[in-house]
Every structure is written in C-alpha cells, then in structure tokens.
Structure 1
Amino acid sequence: MPRLLLPLLLVLSFFSSSTLADEYRDTVKMFQDADAPNAFFKSAYGYAVFPTIGKAGFFIGGAYGEGRVYQHNKFTGTTTMTQASVGFQLGGQAYSQIIFFEDARAYNEFTSGNFEFSAQASAIAITAGASAEAGTKGTGTSASGGQNNATTSANYYRGMATFVIAKGGLMYEAAIAGQKFSFTPK
C-alpha cells in the first residue's frame, strides 16, 4: 500500500491549485515580456488568459482551452474556449492566448455567460514566424523574430484585443473559424 501512496501523492500535487496558479502567472509574465501586448496591461480594464489552447484539424477542426478572467488584475472567474473551423487545415498546435478588455462594457459582454468571436475577429501572433489577418477592419500581414521583439502592434476592436503566443506544433490552414467562450464567476 505505501508504494501506491507515493505516486498518488505526486499526481495530486501536480494538479494542485498552486501549480495552476503558477501556470497562469507564468503565462501572464510571458505576455508582459512581449513588446506588443505590454502596454495593454497598463490600460486594460481586465483580461482573460489561456495558458494552453490545443488545436487540431483535418479539413474540419477544433480547439479547446481553459482560462481565467481578471478585472483590474483581480481573479474574477474561469472561462473556457471552444473553436470550430472549416476549410483547408491539417495538423495540430498548442498556443497561449490573452484577450484584453478595453472597458467595463467589453468585460461585461465577455463575462455575460456565452460570448462568441465571429470569423472576422483576429489575433496578433507574437512569436517567431509570419502571420496574416483579415477581418472587418481590413487585411494585413506581419513578421517577427521572437516573442520579445515582435514588430506587430494591435488596437482594440469592439473593445477587445487578442494576442497569441505559439507553444508548439505544426498546422497549415486556410479556414474560417469562430470562438465561443463561457464564463463561471469565482
């Protein structure tokens, strides 16, 4: 019996809330250290942070991630993100995402229960590589050498600004996708 107790305790400690808190703190720090989103931390009303979102697709794709929502840097609840996509896509990837809320209206809209980003919403990629975006605000492309020297910049669009940092994987896609978020107060 004692031989089984040690592995069980190790597994439970891995999933402890302090480990999760560290994961969120580390993800926020990673975005703070990147040039593009840094200014948003100073002026945003709040934000939602997702340490890891997993995404996969083979013509039809999907993504899922769990996150936390903050208002004036105070934890207010949890959120989940689901995404469905259709179009040419092949592969899988993992990434971190943060959504900044410009004001109370945007925060309240996101935390109202079920919030959806339409296919026109776009994120700014801030890791090495190239990205392109198209939406109702126009089209654009960007390239950066790394997460700390990204050359992209973003503005709020309908009260929200989204940034993504790739963690790994390989995915080719030319697809239309929409993200849906749920919120559970603390």
Structure 2
Amino acid sequence: MALSSLGEDPTASRIQAVQCAIGAMEIPDGARDEAVKAAVIAASVKLAASDQRMSPIDRAFDQAEEALRSAQQQHTGSYWNAAVLRVRGSFIGWLRAEVSRATGEIQLSEFLSEGDPDDTPDDEREVRDRETEGIHSCSRLIDELAAAGVRIVDLNGELRGGIDCNAATHVTDADETVARDFTP
C-alpha cells in the first residue's frame, strides 16, 4: 500500500523516511505487509495532525497548488489553457508573497501586467483576458483567504475579508518526519 493512497500528498522525504524505517527493521517473513500497513496508518495520523495545525491561509494555498498540479496533469494541450495555467501558477505565487508581507489590503488588480508598448490592442486584450481568467480560476483560494480574514480588493473593486494579513499565523513544521514518530 503506497502512502499516496492515503488521499494526502506526502513529500518524498516522508516516503523515504518510512521506507528507511521499515527497511531497517528486522521483520519476520509474512509480517512485512502488517508493518507497511502500520506505517501507512502512522503516516496518515501524522499528516492529519499536521494539517490540523496548519493555518487556514496555508491550507488554502496548499489546496490551490494541488488543484493547479491536477489541472496541469489533465491539461488537454490547447495554447489558451496552457497560458491560463501558467498565469494561475504565477498568481498563486504572487498572492502568497503578497499575503506574507501585506500590512493592509491586497489589490488583485496589481497582478495585472502593464502591457508591452509593442503590443497591438488585440495582444493587450488577449493578455488581459488571460490574466483575468487566471485570477478567476483561483476564486476558491480568494474566497478562503477572505474567509480567513485577509483583506482583498477583487477585480471589481470590492473589499473582501476583514483583518490585516500579518495578523494571521502561519504554522509550519517541515522538519518533522513520519519516521521519527513511527513505532512498529
């Protein structure tokens, strides 16, 4: 049973740690499957606990990035969709940086590019449409950030959310591994 079957997306280091822990144990023949099941259960408990400690803001970004990865894997190959997915990825990165350093409101319109002076009006409109669609494809992320209290001014000029970004806490614990808490 693979760790990815838990419904989670554990990091490669966690998978490696569990494999090392199982490999280092002296397990009698026939008991290895039980050890793997125990490791999977321990990993799922650990991942669920770390997810509960994660702030709603961090969780929203993680879910948005996972949705983007899934969309990229299911991408059909059209130029427009590929371009929108690139914008979506850039927007998520830009928004994460804005949330981490913002002291007031985040203006989503600041993400929109100024345009190239050599672009034709049609080129400018296409870029603006692509950027706008990329932002709108992240509406769930924007909704979750606003619900967590991040003050966001959307593309229509409406304020969403209610507290300053720096009032939100970000809990991360990247150094913890499943192997440390694994007990056979």
Q: What is the TM-score when the length of structure 1 is the normalising length? A: 0.25
Structure with greater helix share of residues? 2
Structure number with bigger Rg: 2
Structure with greater strand share of residues? 1
Q: What is the TM-score when the length of structure 2 is the normalising length? A: 0.25
Structure having greater relative contact order (Cα 8 Å, sep ≥ 6): 2
